[in-house]
Structure formats: C-alpha cells, structure tokens
Structure 1
C-alpha cells in the first residue's frame, strides 16, 4: 500500500534508513536501480515506468543497509560560525562578528580577508553566504569578460545560482541579444583554478552549445587540460554542497 494513499508518482519522496529517497521514472532504464545523489544528499530510486515505481520503493526498503552505508560516506554538514576560516577562491577568509551590514574586508600581505556579519546561528550564516555570493558574482563577471573576449563572443549576462545538479549553465543569445551564464555560488569555495575552469567551460558554450570536439577545443585553448579540474569537482562537490547545512 502506498504511504500516499494513491499510486506512486515520479518525484514522490520516501524515508528509508533516515534518508530521503526520491522516486524517478527513466524510460530508458532497463531495470529498477538505486544511486546516491551526493550533492542533494539523497537516494534516487529509478524505475523504467510508473507501473514499476512501487517495485523501486520496495527495492529501496530492502537495501536500507546499503543506503545507510552510502550516507555515512558523505562529508558531514558544515555549519557557518564566527571564528572559522574559509577558503574563498583559494584564499583564506576569516569569519567574524561585526556591527552593521555584512561585508567583505580586503586583506593584506600580513592579514587574511575577512567577512563580518551580525547575529548568530542561521542569521549569521545567511549574512555570510550573501557576502560570498556577491564576491562570486564579482569574480565570475570578471572571468567571464576575459574568456568571452578571448572567444570573440559578446559579453553575456552573469548571475549566481544555488543549483544542486550543475555548477553552471549557459543560454546563447538570440536576435542580437547577449547570452546569459549562471554559476553556482558554491564554486567560490573551490580553488580559483577550478572555478576558473567552470567559467571557461560555460563561455565555450557561447560558441558551441554541445560537448563535441570543437567545444572541448575551445576549453583547452582557454585553460589547458581540464581533466584535473573536473576530477576535483567530482571528488569534492559533495563537500561544497554540505557547506552551510
């Protein structure tokens, strides 16, 4: 019997072994399967059709031990608190309690950058994240301008997002209008070279809206071998998404 009092549907969520299990339909799937979505910190149970969603839910319950093991492998949540030091684009930044509006304080050769914010707990965390987002917008706007110019593409609109499924997205311009690129603000927590690769990657989409050979040729011309940066994101992406939770 479905816990919802109806037939299960794509997107329904269950709780198994203390984890959220999201049911998904994938028409190309050949069988029921489970996978860990590291960025969302949840399990995805996939079925080939709506008719087999109940089978996927049952399979998830049967694999409660496996689910608990996968969750234990995830990095622990990383709450934001005064006194901690973050790496923002590869540079140390001290978080401290301050008065007035949350703001970024530029460091020197002898002192680290600082972010000061009022409050404590969730209020302090929200204020710090807002400053990081502003810093991310500044850096990504600058790097996008550099790479768009190198590619001979019009400067796109740049925005910051908090997507869980991707680090960036690009929409090509139409009818003479500039394109737009959105970046995850959490990339500010990555080394500069990794974040800069993502900027080059998305700018390359201004020329090629695909991942074919010409697209990767553009990326390599901008940042060289992209493989170490992609590997870093695969290995550390879950940690970035755990920040502030």
Structure 2
C-alpha cells in the first residue's frame, strides 16, 4: 500500500526521522537513491521513473537512521536578535534594537557598521533581513554593472530573492530588452570575494549561456580562479541558509 494512499507523484513530500523528504524523478538516474540537500535542509529521494517513486519513499523509510545522521550534520538555525554581530560582505555588522524603520549606519571611528531595527523575534528578523536584501541589491548591482562594462555588454537588470537552489541566475533579454540577473540575497552573508565571483559568473553568462571553456575563460579574466569560491559556497552555503531560520 502506498505511503500516500495513492500513487506518489514527483514533488510529493513525507517526513522521516523528523526530516522532510522530497520525492523526485530523474530519468537519468539508474537506481533509487537518497541525498541530503544542504541548502534546502531536506532529503531528496530520487527514482529513475514515476513508477518507482513508491520504492523511493519506502527506501527513505528504511534509511531513517542515515537520514537522522545526515540532518544532524547541518548547522544549527541562526535566530536573529539584537546584540549579535554578523558578517556582511566580509565586514562585521552589529545588530541593535531601534525604533521606526530599519536603518543602516556605516562603519566609522573604529566602530563597525550597524543595523538598527524595531520589533522582536520574527518581526525583528524580517526587518534585519529586509535591510540585508537592500544591501545585497546595491552591492551586487554595482558589481554586475562593472563586470558587464568589462565584458562590453549592456548592464543587466538585477534583483535579489531568497533562492534556495542557486546563488544566481541569468536570463537573456527578450525583444531587445536588457538581460536580467537574479541573486540570492544571502550572498551578503558571504565574503565579498565569494559574492563578487558569483556576480562575475552570472555576468559571463551574458556572453555565454553555457559552461563552456569560453565561459570559464571570461570568468577567469574577471576574477581569476573560480575553484576557491565554489568550494567556499559548497562548504558554507548551508550556514548562510540557516541564518534567520
């Protein structure tokens, strides 16, 4: 009998050992498998065909201990509260209680930059995150415009979102309009060099909508070797996504 009372579908979710498990079909897969998605903080149970999704769900139930062990490896969620100091593009920023709209005070006189926001709990976190989104948009827009100019292409439209699957994405312009690049605002929590690499990566897609040798040549011309930055994101990405959870 199905765990869902029906034939499971691609995208269905279940809970195993307190963890969310998402069922996915990947027709290139050769077998049923499980993997930890550190960014989404969930387990993905993959089947090569829709018919085998029931098998993938059953396999996840059988591997409850493994799932619990993998979830325990994830960084703890990081609640946002006044008094904590965070890193924003590699620079310390102190969070403070305030009144009225959230505001950003630049570093000066040996004091770190500050974000002052009102509210408590989730309300306070939302206000701080809104300020971080604004900061991320400003910095990543400037870097995108700089790299677009270096590549000899028109500047893209830039936006930020809370994407969980990608740090950035690039879409070509339609009917002569500008291309668009969307970044994860959580790049504001990464070192500047890492966020800068993502901007260069996405801007290189303005010339090459692929990951060909020519694409990577453009990236290297802009920021040098990509491997250290890619490695940092793989190692620390889950921590960035735990912020504010």
1:186 correspondence with 2:191: no
> Structure 1 residue runs of 4+, over 6 Å off?
none
Q: 1:226 offset after TM fit, Å?
A: 0.9
Aligned pairs for 1:23-172 within 5 A: 23-172=23-172
Report the TM-score, using the length of structure 1 for normalisation: 0.98
* C-alpha separation in 2, matches of 1:109 and 1:189: 23
**Structure 1 residues 42-98: Cα deviation after superposition (integer angstroms, max 9, x where no partner):** 000011111111111111111111001101110010110110000000000000000
* C-alpha separation in 2, matches of 1:87 and 1:117: 17
* C-alpha separation in 2, matches of 1:158 and 1:51: 41
* C-alpha separation in 2, matches of 1:9 and 1:109: 58
Classify the secondary structure of the residue corresponding to 1:208.
coil
Contact 2:189 2:240 in 1 (8 A): yes
* C-alpha separation in 2, matches of 1:26 and 1:226: 28
* C-alpha separation in 1, matches of 2:84 and 2:222: 34
**Structure 1 residues 20-44: Cα deviation after superposition (integer angstroms, max 9, x where no partner):** 0101111111110000000011000
* C-alpha separation in 1, matches of 2:5 and 2:58: 16
> Which residue number corresponds to residue 216 of structure 2?
216
Q: 1:108 offset after TM fit, Å?
A: 1.0
Which ranges of structure 2 fall in alignment gaps of 5 or more residues? none
Q: 1:5 offset after TM fit, Å?
A: 2.1
Q: CA RMSD in A?
A: 0.8
Classify the secondary structure of the residue corresponding to 2:149.
helix
* C-alpha separation in 2, matches of 1:192 and 1:122: 27
Q: 1:18 offset after TM fit, Å?
A: 0.6
How many aligned positions are there? 245
Classify the secondary structure of the residue corresponding to 1:46.
strand
Contact 2:24 2:46 in 1 (8 A): yes
Contact 2:3 2:57 in 1 (8 A): no
Classify the secondary structure of the residue corresponding to 1:93.
strand
* C-alpha separation in 1, matches of 2:174 and 2:120: 45
Q: 1:174 offset after TM fit, Å?
A: 3.1
Classify the secondary structure of the residue corresponding to 2:229.
helix
Q: 1:2 offset after TM fit, Å?
A: 2.5
Contact 2:47 2:53 in 1 (8 A): yes
> Which residue number corresponds to residue 205 of structure 2?
205
Classify the secondary structure of the residue corresponding to 1:55.
helix
* C-alpha separation in 2, matches of 1:53 and 1:207: 39
